[in-house]
Structure 1
Amino acid sequence: MTALPQPFDESFRAMPHAVYNKLRDEKAVHRVALPDGTAVWLVTRDADVRAGLADRRLSVNKAHSTGGYQGYALPPALDANLLNIDHDDHIRLRRLVSQGFTPRRAEAMRAGIQAVADRLADRLEERLESEGTADLVHDFATPLPLTVVCDLFGVPEPDRRPFGSWVSTMLALESPQQVAEAVTSVHDFLRALVDERRKAPGDDLLSALIAARDEDDRLTEDELCSLAFLVLGAGIENVQHLLSAGFLALLRHPGQLAALRGDSSLLPDAVEELMRYAHSQLTAIRRFPTEPVEIAGTTIPAGDTVLLCPASANRDPERYPAPDRLDIRRRDNAHLSLGQGMHYCLGAPLARMQTGLALETLLGRFPGLRPAVEVDRLQWRTSFRSHALRALPLTR
Structure 2
Amino acid sequence: MTDPTQDPRFFQDPYPTYAAMRSACPVQAVSSASGGHLSYLVTGYAEAREALADARLSKDAAAFFAGKGSRRRLHPAVAHNMLSSDPPEHTRLRKLVTKAFTTEAVAKLRPFIAKVTDNLLDRWNAGEPFDFMTGFAVPLPVIVICELLGVPEEDRPDIQRWSGELFATGRPDVIDAASHTLADYMADLIAAKRRHPGSSLLDRLISARDSDDRLTEEELVSLAVLLVVAGHETTTSFLGNAALSLLKHPAELDRLRQDPDGIPAVLDELLRFDSPVSTATFRYTTQTITLGGTAIPAGAPVLVALGAANRDPERFPSPDRPDAGREAAGHLAFGHGIHRCVGAPLAKAEAEIALRAVLARFPGLRLAVPPEQVQWRHARLVRGLASLPVLSQALLHGS
State the TM-score, normalizing by the size of structure 1: 0.94
- Alpha-carbon separation, structure 2, partners of 1:270 and 1:135: 24
The answer to which of 255-264 and 63-72 deviates more is 63-72
- Alpha-carbon separation, structure 1, partners of 2:72 and 2:138: 23
Matched, 1:294 2:290: yes
After TM superposition, give the deviation of residue 249 of structure 1 in Å. Answer: 0.7
Deviations 1:53-79 (A, max 9, x none): 011110100255278899985322333
Deviations 1:220-279 (A, max 9, x none): 111101111111101110111110111011011000000011112321221111111122
Matched, 1:62 2:86: no
The answer to which of 253-262 and 189-198 deviates more is 189-198
Deviations 1:199-239 (A, max 9, x none): 11100000110011011100111110111111110111011
What is the DSSP-based 3-state SS (H/G/I as helix, E as strand, rest coil) of the residue aligned with 1:31?
strand
- Alpha-carbon separation, structure 2, partners of 1:71 and 1:395: 46
For structure 1, the residue ranges without an aligned partner over 5 or more in a row are none
- Aligned counterpart for 1:18 among listed residues 9, 16, 19: 16
For structure 2, the residue ranges without an aligned partner over 5 or more in a row are 393-399
Q: Counterpart of 1:112? A: 112
* Aligned amino acid, residue 217 of structure 2: E
**RMSD of aligned alpha carbons:** 1.9
Could you say if the C-alpha distance between residues 70 and 87 of structure 1 is closer, same or farther in structure 2, counting changes exceeding 3 Å?
farther
1:204-283 equivalences under 5 Å are 204-283=200-279
Q: Counterpart of 1:95? A: 95
- Alpha-carbon separation, structure 1, partners of 2:174 and 2:141: 23
Could you say if the C-alpha distance between residues 16 and 73 of structure 1 is closer, same or farther in structure 2, counting changes exceeding 3 Å?
farther
- Alpha-carbon separation, structure 2, partners of 1:253 and 1:46: 24
- Alpha-carbon separation, structure 2, partners of 1:237 and 1:10: 21
- Aligned counterpart for 2:364 among listed residues 361, 368, 378: 368
After TM superposition, give the deviation of residue 107 of structure 1 in Å. Answer: 0.8
What is the DSSP-based 3-state SS (H/G/I as helix, E as strand, rest coil) of the residue aligned with 2:318?
coil
How many correspondences in the alignment?
389
- Alpha-carbon separation, structure 1, partners of 2:55 and 2:261: 38
- Aligned counterpart for 1:6 among listed residues 3, 7, 10: 3
After TM superposition, give the deviation of residue 35 of structure 1 in Å. Answer: 4.5
Could you say if the C-alpha distance between residues 66 and 189 of structure 1 is closer, same or farther in structure 2, counting changes exceeding 3 Å?
closer
Contact 2:290 2:296 in 1 (8 A): yes
What is the DSSP-based 3-state SS (H/G/I as helix, E as strand, rest coil) of the residue aligned with 1:207?
helix
- Alpha-carbon separation, structure 1, partners of 2:95 and 2:72: 25
What is the DSSP-based 3-state SS (H/G/I as helix, E as strand, rest coil) of the residue aligned with 2:252?
helix
1:1-396 equivalences under 5 Å are 4-8=1-5, 9-35=7-33, 37=35, 38-65=37-64, 74-124=74-124, 126=125, 128=126, 132-396=128-392
Identity %: 40
Contact 2:11 2:378 in 1 (8 A): yes
Contact 2:75 2:176 in 1 (8 A): no
